[in-house]
Structures are given as structure tokens and as C-alpha cells.
Structure 1
Amino acid sequence: MYRAETACSVRYPQTPTLVIDLAQRSAALERPSEGTHVQALRDRLALTEIVLGPDDGADDDLLLVYRTVGAADLGAGAILFRRALDAGDIVHPPALRSLAQVLFDTLRTEEPNAPLMAHVAMALRAIVPGPLRDDPGAVRGGLANWQERRALAFMEQRLDQSFPVSDVADVCGLSVNHFSRAFRRSLGKPPHRWLLDRRIDRARELLQTTPLPLADIALACGFAEQSHFTRVFTRLVGMPPGAWRRASE
């Protein structure tokens, strides 16, 4: 019927990519090319693969990517529709087969109907289980595993920067409120507290392994002023950063 597997196990050098923006209800077809968005899916998302029956004149597979507006990269997941040489043993839900066939027929036209593809893709997304819904390792009500990895990586790479939580929510394809609730359920603390704790951990690493002055360490850990850094460090660690450095020598 259909199965989920990691994107890196799939080979699709000639696969057209249909990118659907769920928030804007728009669609854009990207032809195969070097550096295509397909590569961005590797090692990030599970890929739901649906094998369809053979159909003369339809030899192109279709990779459907669905995401939310504002995401820094491909955010939500993907569905790969693949033609089978022998589909005698394959049984599909009628609605899935019908909707998938509409997408293939539209792709074969000279000017694919983007609004139609968007509507069909959203209908498919509603009936096909994907990585966001079927994530056995995820905490119930929390972030999916790929969302947690992406959120933590996003913040880890920006420990020295100031950014709103909405930026992190965007890369996970969630609203700010939904993301904050799910993050706390998965990590046991809200996003701003996780980030603050990680910045202090980084500060301790720099205090112990480098001769950098406190002002530089404060900037490297996302604090605009040394005085703010000192207050936060003292509150969380129990002593000022200078005293902690001397004690750790």
C-alpha cells in the first residue's frame, strides 16, 4: 500500500519536485537539476513512498514536498509517488489512487495547473500518513524527532546571535504557540530557557579553555553586555564568571 522510509535510501535522479506551501495554498513545479531541493531532504525527513500501478505514457515519478510559509528550508515532509513495473499485488485506497493520478495527468500537460496541484496535494496530505504524524520516537504532544533536531541545531548555530522564537518555530513548520508547547513537552523546558542554559554551558567552556576576556565571552554567547552576562551566569551557576574561572583552574 504505502510505506515510510528514510529519504537517503531513495534514488530519483529524474524525479520532478512539486513544492506545496500549505499556508499559502500554492504550488511550484521544479524540474530535476543539479542542486535540486531533493538533496535537502536527505538525512532530515522520513519519506512516505507510494507505489502506483504502471500507466503508459507516465514514466516520471513525482516527489511532493509540503512545507509551511516562512520556513528557512523544506520544513514539513515529502511524499514520493513511484511507478511500479508490476502492480498486480498493490492495493491502494481509491481516493489516493484518484488524487495521485490527477497529479500525474497535470504534470504531463505543457502548462501544469498550479492551483489544481496545490488543492490535490493538500487533499493527499490529509489522507496519507507522513513523518509529522507517524513518528514513533516522538513524545506525545511534543516535537517530531526531525523537528527537535532542527530546532536544536538552529539555536546551537546561533548562540552568539539574538533571534525571536518565531524563527525557530518557522523552521519546524509550526506556529509560535504550538512550537513552544511542543518544545517544552519534548525537552522539559521552554525554548528560551534551553537557549539560556546552552549559552551558559558555552560560556563555561570558553572560560575554562580560552583566555578570552569576559566581555568577549559575553558577546560570543549571545549577551549584548557583560553586566547582563554576569548577572545571568551568577544566578544560574551560583558565582560570577570570573570567580568560576579562577576556581576551575
Structure 2
Amino acid sequence: MYRAESTCPSTYRRALATVIVDLAQRSAAVDRDDRQGGLRLVDDLRGRSQLTEIALDDAADDLLLVYRTACASDGMGGGAILFRGEPKGAMDSDHPPAVRTLAQVLFDSLRAEAPNAPLLAHVALALRAILSLPTAPEETGAPRGGLATWQERRAVAYMDERLDQSFPVSDVADACGLSVNHFSRAFRRSLGKPPHRWLLDRRIERARQLLRDTTLSLADIALACGFAEQSHFTRVFTRTVGMPPGAWRRAAD
């Protein structure tokens, strides 16, 4: 474990670079300009016990890595790491050697006029894997081998918003920060069916709602539910519900 230092951030007179790491997109963005905002962020993270602090005796500046989860409601549940420059000999002695090496890569990259964002993200994620960081409640509630709660919400919302569109499962996997194979397995573990089956069932559910509550034609309902042709819609609806959509509409009336 890394000890949390009591040094007040407001006493810092050093430059503070903030790197925001998007855990879903596995991307990073750099903010060098808002030092006061960065210090306030440090205070907030420390106050909520979501900050891991590491002293480095050869760092010219300070560096804050903030790991953000996908949903705004998750706040900064991904945790954060603050690398602080300290006088020689003040460095924490109990961290793995890889931490110093990876931190040096980050500092070297930040010296460039245009930092390599993919490299920053890759190294920041490696550091997160090595260190024992605070995690968001959403990251601990997933069934073993399934999606994290935020990933499940994002996947469902992504597909729900695109019921009238055609899109590959890789788009949904990307939105959750996972490979297609990993996402498909985890989705089935969490929701009990593969993504394509869930999407098909959701489209039929939407079709039944439109059949019952609107006067749209079958062709228009087919398009609104992501079916390119009415004949395809009719086949799938009949196979799923047990009767053609026209008959189901009359029965519902």
C-alpha cells in the first residue's frame, strides 16, 4: 500500500499537470493550464479517500492522474494517483520498481509539446493495474465474468437509443471499453442472453408498443424498430410472439 501524505496541496509551488484517463474509451487528455483547479481536485479526491500519493525524488513537477468512469453519476470513482516531487531521499520505498519506470515514461512524454495521448493512456492504465486504487461502487457490483454495472447501463442505453439503426456489436463493445469477444461473453453472463438476441427482443418489445399505441403502418413500425423490410419484421415477430404483427394488433385492440 502507498501511504497518504498530509502535505497540503495549497502549499505547492511546483507545476501541476493533470491527465484525465477515460476508463471506458481507454484514452487520455492533458490539462497543464488550470493549476488551481488541479489543486482543488487533489483536495477533493483526498477528502473522499480516492487519492493515492507517491513521492518521487527526481520529479521536476507534480503529476495528477484522474481515472474517470463512463457515467457522470459515477463521479471520480475510478480513483487517482498524485506523483509529487520531493527532496532527494523522500521517495516512498515500498512501491514496485515498475511504478518509478512508468512514472518516468509519463513525465518524459509530458515534456513534449504535443504529448502522445495513446501512450499516456496505456501507461496510466498500467499504473492503475499495479497499484491498489479505490474503485467505484459500480466496478464492484458485476457478476463474476460479467459486465460492470456502468458497462451494463452503457450497453443497454447505447442499443436502446439505436433500435431503428443497424450497427455492429463492436460499436457497443467499444462504448464499454472491451473487445468484442470479452464484451459478448460478459454481456451474456450479466443479462442472460447474447447482445444480438437482447437487441432483437428489445426491438420486438418496441414493435408491440407501437402496434398497441399508434396507428403507424406495419412498414413504418418495421423501420422504426430497425428492420429493413416489413417481411423480415413479420417473420421475426411471428417467430417470437407466436402470431403475425397485424393479428397481434387486432387482438390487442
Sort the TM-score into its range (normalised by shorter chain).
Answer: 0.5 to 0.7
Instruction: Look up the match of 1:190.
Output: 194
Q: Does 1:58 align with 2:48?
A: no
Cα RMSD (Å): 4.2
Instruction: Say which structure is richer in helix.
Output: 2
Judge conservation of contact 1:106–1:117 (CA < 8 Å) in 2: no
Length-normalised TM-score, structure 1: 0.66
Matched-pair identity in %: 58
**1:142-181 maps to which residues of 2 (within 5 A)?**
142-181=146-185
Q: How many residues align?
A: 210
Instruction: Look up the match of 1:127.
Output: 130
Structure 1 residues 31 and 202 mapped into 2: Cα distance closer, same or farther (>3 Å)? farther
Structure 1 gap segments, 5+ residues each:
3-13, 34-46, 68-76
Amino acid at match of 2:100: S
**1:98-247 maps to which residues of 2 (within 5 A)?**
98-99=100-101, 101-102=103-104, 105-106=107-108, 109=111, 111=113, 114=116, 117=120, 120-121=123-124, 123-129=126-132, 135-247=139-251
**1:35-74 maps to which residues of 2 (within 5 A)?**
49-53=51-55, 58-59=61-62, 61-63=64-66
Structure 1 residues 197 and 118 mapped into 2: Cα distance closer, same or farther (>3 Å)? closer
Instruction: Look up the match of 1:81.
Output: 81
Instruction: Look up the match of 1:17.
Output: 19
Judge conservation of contact 1:106–1:113 (CA < 8 Å) in 2: no
Structure 1 residues 92 and 144 mapped into 2: Cα distance closer, same or farther (>3 Å)? farther
- Give the Cα separation in 2 of the matches to 1:49 and 1:171: 26
> How far apart are residue 138 of structure 1 and its match?
0.6
- Give the Cα separation in 2 of the matches to 1:109 and 1:103: 10
Structure 1 residues 234 and 18 mapped into 2: Cα distance closer, same or farther (>3 Å)? same
Post-superposition CA distance 1:225-249 (Å, at most 9, x none):
1111111111111111111111112
> How far apart are residue 17 of structure 1 and its match?
2.3
Post-superposition CA distance 1:104-146 (Å, at most 9, x none):
74377364764875664354143135669x9321111111222
Judge conservation of contact 1:99–1:124 (CA < 8 Å) in 2: no
- Give the Cα separation in 1 of the matches to 2:198 and 2:237: 14
